Structure 1
Amino acid sequence: MNTDIAPRSGLLRRTVVILATAVFLAGCATRPGPGSLKISQAAEDGALDHTIIVATTRQRATVSATYFTSERGDELNFATATVSVPPAHKPGQIEWPSAPPGDPATDFTLRSAGYLKDSTAFRAEIRKELARRKPGHRRAFLFVHGYNTRFPEALYRFTQVVHDAQVPSVPVLFTWASGGKVTDYVYDINSAQIARDALEQTIRDLVASGVERIDILAHSMGTYLLLETMRQISISPRGITRDDFGTVALAAPDIDIDLFKQQLQRTGKPEKPFLILVSRDDRALQASSLISGGKQRVGRYEHPEELAELGAIVIDLTALRGDPANHSKFAEIAQIGPNLRKAILHSQLGEETEAPSPTGGKVGDLIGRGANVVLTVPKAILSAPIQIFGAQ
């Protein structure tokens, strides 16, 4: 009898913690649902438009102003969307409309959107965007979102990152069929697994379109999907080489630490190391760890130097104040993305450096030499130093 009660009580405690965390993460704010993507006809001086090309495993929606649902489609779907960012935008934030379509003077607004017929049309759209850029700058920037993400959230979050980081590449959103609810964790991880072939095909389509490099940012459960897909590509006879990829950044990876270590040990130190953004106060990954039997997740790992020794560059954001769950800090540092990348390159060379901020001042300087480096950032941009553990 006692041996039965103890496991049950332990399970009950874990369940209570998970549910409490889920309620906390859900919060009280209204999230965009069906019909929230109405097109705005209004114009505003100073607002900037960004065109996002979309590949997705989601089903097309039958409800207007929705485009894609949380259900899994039978095949890849494609679209384009142009989103306007207001002139008073604050870096790291998404200024959500209080009601669709929103005011372009104060809100993110959808300016245009439409489906693409098939992968041929998708590749043609990529080529059209590449042709607008000079040789040497014809790259794609691919974003793979994480757990509990609805289509409008993925679209607007990616737009915010592209805008804040001043990304010159062609922005491509890969959005898989997340259920968009905190209770859909198992549905989401299965959806991520189902999306592996589709993500591989999207990457192959980008290569076939003539991109010079593919830079990738994956977040949360999207990092699991990305790494599974890259492993799948690596053992495929239809080769895509590592030279086809540029920077691969994993933000708050929701991956079992043992699985990730095994992957890195198997492949060896990569010629181009992954960038891994971690935060030891990530509450979403704490919940994920509980669901997964108590195993640490990569994005919350307490020993980032171990990951660096395996060939990664680890950026520790624990000291930064983030969103309530501390799970989306990557979005809040997007504005210093170009300078952070320069700093990382310098740290690999063992040099000290200062890099200009987007506003013309100093982002900060690298203190120390070797693998463990600290990037100090003024409070006007971020609230605390960023620690970097570099691959050697």
Structure 2
Amino acid sequence: MNIHRIALIVAILVLPLQLTLAHASTIGVLWADDPAGSKYEEHAGLRTALQAIEATWIEIDANGSSSKQIEDAIGLFDQSVTALILDPVDTIAASRISKEARLRGVPVIALGALVEDPWVVSVDFDYRAAGRAIANNMMTETPGQSFLVLHEEQKNPEDNLFLQGQLDVLKPAASVGRISLYQETINPIWPQEIAKRNLEQYLFPRDDQIDAVIAPSGEAAKIIADSEFGEKVTIGAPASDVETLGRINSGRQMAGIWLDRRELGKAAVAIAMKMAMGESINTTTITIEKPDHLVQAFLLEPLLVTDKNLQMKIDAGSLSPPEKCRVASNDMDICEGLFAQYRAVPVLFGTDRQQNATLSGVEYNDQRSGKLQLGLAWVTVPEDHRFGVVERPASIELPLVTITFEKEDPKAHFTIASINTLSPSEFHAYATQRLSAADRNEGHALVFVHGFNVKFEDALYSTAQLVWDMQFDGLVALYSWPSKGTVKDYFYDVDSARQSRDKMSAFLDLIKSVPDIQKITLVAHSMGSAALIEALADQASRTDFTPYDDIIFAAPDVDADDFASLASRIITFADGVTLYASSSDRALRASKSLRSHMPRAGDSPSSGPLILKGIDTIDATAVSNYVFGINHSYFANDRSVVDDIAALMLSGIRPPDRRTPTLRAVSSATGAIYWQFPK
């Protein structure tokens, strides 16, 4: 088999002759869908190569339509393109376009797809070689003798070749008794939880027999690595994503295959230019499933990645700073160095939202998972950040879609650079590392619980904005319960917040168990206050409970009478409790109207705010009275309130007017004292 190495392609691109040919040729490029999406790496490599030789090209996006792609191809042929680079929508489009191209004498190069057509040259990776490389490595490095090969029920040609490559190595070894070989078929379209159960069913019966598992995808490898079998078996997979490199770095996966898809784009351009001038290309004929299913392919050599060459891959320059951070398992020193240009805030989190696994990392939605999940996110703060503002791209939310008017830019917007899931031990290790690096807030942990109508990513942005503006450099943690993130789902959020109490309680226990923590401050906003109170009540019922240092309730969306009846218990949860209230809070007014006009604990009516023994109540009406504002997030938006919270956390001084002299003590009609920001 002829394997053409990437170095050869680069050499072709820089030939002076190639520059001359480029000016005489027009290359057509047809994308199956938006190339800025799933094909962005191929697109970047292709454009880099075309620009390097000053080529003329025309590119069109088919928007996933086979018929449109066929029409687009005919249009390009009518414009006399000299070669066509094709990212086919499907086999129908590939076949029709190839037939028309052959009639017109236009060479076709299939980009990252194996097309069974003698007129088409398919530029792809050598997946069979990848399968052999994984199997050989694992046979060499795995102490045991039993292999389980998982393959997908609905295989594409690349998956089939990867499987063939594994069996090229493992079957002969099994036939002479060197190893035991098991094979199982899995369904690639299972939802994650079903996939987990089904993968485990293949491992449970053979718990003592299996030493190594070769998974068909990064998703399957992740499920196995995260299961109870992850520490018992050696794992290999063909995935080329950043998560795979991260598992290899942390020792949770032995080997993976890195496929640099930018090189596919560069190779396709080099071949298109040669074929446009009538030059022949040395291709390899490969068989797909059946003997008569033949593909003429130009194959790039895949890179086997293990812990031995991982650093070389990281240093090669093809990974962005967020990707390098994720590979480094969010190592604080590495990530802070990588994100220095963006001013990044690390946020440890716990959540009981459902998780979505994506190619770009991890996301959490608005559904309830019923379990505590842990992780670490890095949130970047823009260069021109204004105090109290979460800068995000301008957008309009419609009932079915959000329309965004500008591209996300770390220099102008808060962005999520990286999200990684963590085990409890990884969570502990990072928390300890973060605490040891703190200066201003040494040994201090801040735990934030968000309120109503907040999506997971928005909770991260708000947490980062608050701690950045407070200049807090201790341990930052967020608990995100499954809010729908929409105004109309108020009562869903009420139930979601409260059902999170046991998971939140477990998260707080985990924070308390981190070594070297000297002080913990809990900040709950709006509806999050109700969930926090219930979680703390659960903890306080235990004989080994120790109070927290401070609890801050910011605009609590809790029934005022209910809060008052619980006050005697709430003050036992911490050494100090603070309540911020405002009469200008329009969100609490709306909540009040939904609750038969019963007052909320965070409201400050004409008779004055809620004043309770042992709780410092601060009326923030004067600094939260914006004509066009909802005035519900003043605790993070207004400098006076943020500075007071920062002073409380830094000094612990009470009463409030001793740490913030601008606050003035006010006596209520009953003689009880509360504090008020001046107008």
- Contact 1:251 / 1:276 at 8 angstroms: preserved in 2? yes
Structure 1 SS opposite 2:575: coil
Matched AA of 1:72: R
Native 8 Å contact 1:347 1:369 kept in 2: no
**Paired residue for 1:161?**
466
* Aligned-partner Cα distance in 2 for 1:271–1:172: 18
Counterpart Cα distance in 1 of 2:545 and 2:413:
40
- Please report how far the alpha carbon of residue 190 of structure 1 lies from its aligned counterpart in structure 2 after TM superposition: 1.3
Asked if the contact 2:439–2:474 (Cα under 8 Å) also holds between the matched residues in 1, the reply is no
Please say if residues 92 and 335 of structure 1, whose CA atoms lie closer than 8 Å, have aligned partners that are also in contact.
no
Which stretch of the first structure deviates more once superposed, 66-75 or 297-306? Answer: 297-306
Question: How many residues are matched?
Answer: 326
Give the partner amino acid of 2:370: D
Which whole-Å CA distance do the structure 2 matches of 1:215 and 1:372 have between them?
21
1:40, 1:111 within 8 Å by CA — same for their partners in 2? no
* 1: CA distance, partners of 2:665 / 2:570: 30
Alpha-carbon separation, structure 1, partners of 2:468 and 2:441: 21
Distance 1:291 1:369, change over 3 A: closer
Q: Is the contact made by 2:440 and 2:474 (CA closer than 8 Å) also made in structure 1?
A: no
Match of residue 52 from structure 1 = 347
Counterpart residue type for residue 176 of structure 1: W
Change (3 A) 1:91 1:205: same
Structure 1's unaligned 5+ residue stretches are: 1-34, 356-363, 377-384, 386-392
Please state if 1:365 is matched with 2:662: yes
Aligned counterpart, 1:14: none
Q: State the match for 1:233 in structure 2.
A: 539
Kindly provide the amino acid, as one letter, of the partner of residue 86 in structure 1. P
Q: Look up the equivalent residue of 1:203 and give its one-letter code.
A: L
Distance across 2 between alignment mates of 1:44 and 1:350 = 38
For the residue of structure 1 that corresponds to 2:602, the secondary structure is: helix
Distance verdict in 2 for CA 1:250–1:368, change over 3 Å: closer
CA distance in 2, matches of 1:276, 1:349: 11
**CA-to-aligned-CA distance 1:171-201 (integer Å, 9 cap, x gap):** 1010011111112122111111111111111
Candidates 496, 513, 527, aligned match of 1:221: 527
Paired residue for 2:432?
Answer: 127
| Pair 1:337–1:68, CA change in 2 (3 A) | same
Displacement of 1:310: 2.0
Aligned AA (1:284): A
What amino acid is the match of 1:74?
G
* Cα separation, 1, equivalents of 2:483 and 2:616: 28
The percentage of aligned residue pairs carrying the same residue is 27
2:442 equivalent in structure 1? 137
Partner Cα distance (1:311, 1:58) in 2: 34
Q: Distance in 2 between matches of 1:282 and 1:306?
A: 12
- Which structure 2 residue ranges, 5 or more long, are not aligned? 1-37, 39-318, 323-337, 395-403, 668-672
Provide, for residues 77-99 of structure 1, a one-character-per-residue CA deviation record: whole Å limited to 9, x for no partner: 12211111112111110110346
Q: How does 1:24-43 map to 2 (within 5 A)?
A: none
1:344-363 counterparts in 2 under 5 A?
Answer: 348=655
Correspondence 1:146 to 2:451: yes
Are 1:94 and 1:108, in contact at CA under 8 Å, matched by a contact in 2? yes
Q: Flag the 1:105–1:335 CA change in 2: closer, same or farther, 3 A.
A: farther
Matched, 1:71 2:367: yes
Q: Deviations over 1:279-319 (max 9, x none)?
A: 11212111211222221110114278674342211121112
Could you tell me which residue of structure 1 aligns to residue 476 of structure 2? 171
CA distance in 2, matches of 1:221, 1:52: 21
Inter-partner Cα distance in structure 1 for 2:574 and 2:465 = 30
- Partner of 2:593, secondary structure, is helix
1:247 to 547, 550, 570: 550
Structure 1 CA distance for aligned equivalents of residues 656 and 500 of structure 2 = 38
Aligned match of 2:20:
none
2:492 maps to which residue? 187
Q: For the residues of structure 1 that align with 2:390 and 2:501, how far apart are their CA atoms? A: 29
Post-superposition Cα deviations, 1:248-286, rounded to whole Å, max 9, x if no partner, equal 111110000111000014566877331111111212111
CA distance in 2 between counterparts of 1:369 and 1:181 reads 37
After superposition, the Cα gap between the structure-2 partners of 1:217 and 1:303, relative to the gap in structure 1 and judged at 3 Å, is farther
In the TM superposition, what whole-angstrom CA distance separates every residue of 1:121-153 from its partner, at most 9, and x where no partner exists? 222221221232369821211000011110111
Q: Distance in 1 between matches of 2:546 and 2:353?
A: 28
- What is the aligned partner in structure 2 of residue 297 from structure 1? 600
Counterpart Cα distance in 2 of 1:188 and 1:195: 11
CA contact (8 A) 1:140 1:213 kept: yes
SS in 2 for 1:106: coil
Alpha-carbon distance, 1:168 to partner: 2.0
- Greater mean deviation of Cα atoms: 75-84 or 155-164: 75-84
Q: Secondary structure at the match of 2:409?
A: coil
Q: Deviations over 1:95-134 (max 9, x none)?
A: 1034687222211122222221x32322222122123236
- Equivalent-residue separation in structure 2 for 1:270 and 1:113 (angstroms): 31
Task: Identify if the C-alpha distance between structure 1 residues 258 and 96 changes in structure 2 by more than 3 Å, giving closer, same or farther.
Answer: same
CA root-mean-square deviation: 3.2
Q: SS of the residue aligned with 1:67?
A: strand
Q: Structure 2 counterpart of 1:95, which letter? A: E
| Secondary structure at 2:432 match in 1 | helix
TM-score by length of 2: 0.44
Query: Hey, what does 2:382 align to over in structure 1?
Result: 86
Give the secondary structure class of the aligned counterpart of 1:298: coil
1:205 partnered with 2:502 = no
Q: Does 1:113 align with 2:419?
A: yes
The structure-2 alpha-carbon separation of the partners of 1:153 and 1:241, relative to structure 1 and needing over 3 Å to count, comes to same
SS, match of residue 365 in structure 1: coil
The structure having more radius of gyration, on CA atoms, is 2
SS at match of 2:457: helix
1:287 matched to which residue of 2? 590
Query: What is the CA distance between 1:205 and its match in structure 2?
Result: 0.6
Paired AA for residue 282 in structure 1 = D
Distance 1:63 1:187, change over 3 A: farther
Of residues 614, 637, 640, the one that matches 1:311 is: 614
Residue 97 (structure 1) aligned to one of 389, 393, 396: 393
CA 1:368–1:306: 2 relative to 1, 3 Å: closer
**Amino acid corresponding to residue 83 of structure 1 in structure 2:** V
In the TM superposition, residue 324 of structure 1 has moved relative to its aligned partner by 2.2
- Structure 1 position 261 matched with structure 2 position 556: no
Q: Tell me if structure 2 keeps the 8 A contact 1:49–1:83.
A: yes
Considering Cα pairs closer than 8 Å and 6+ residues apart, tell me whether 1 or 2 has the greater RCO.
1
Aligned residue type for 2:351: T
Contact 2:656 2:675 in 1 (8 A): no
Provide, for residues 58-88 of structure 1, a one-character-per-residue CA deviation record: whole Å limited to 9, x for no partner: 1111445561011111311122111111121
Asked if the contact 1:97–1:109 (Cα under 8 Å) also holds between the matched residues in 2, the reply is: no
Equivalent position amino acid for 1:49 in 2: A
CA contact (8 A) 2:445 2:475 kept: yes
1:240 CA drift (Å): 2.4
Q: 1:10 matched to which residue of 2?
A: none
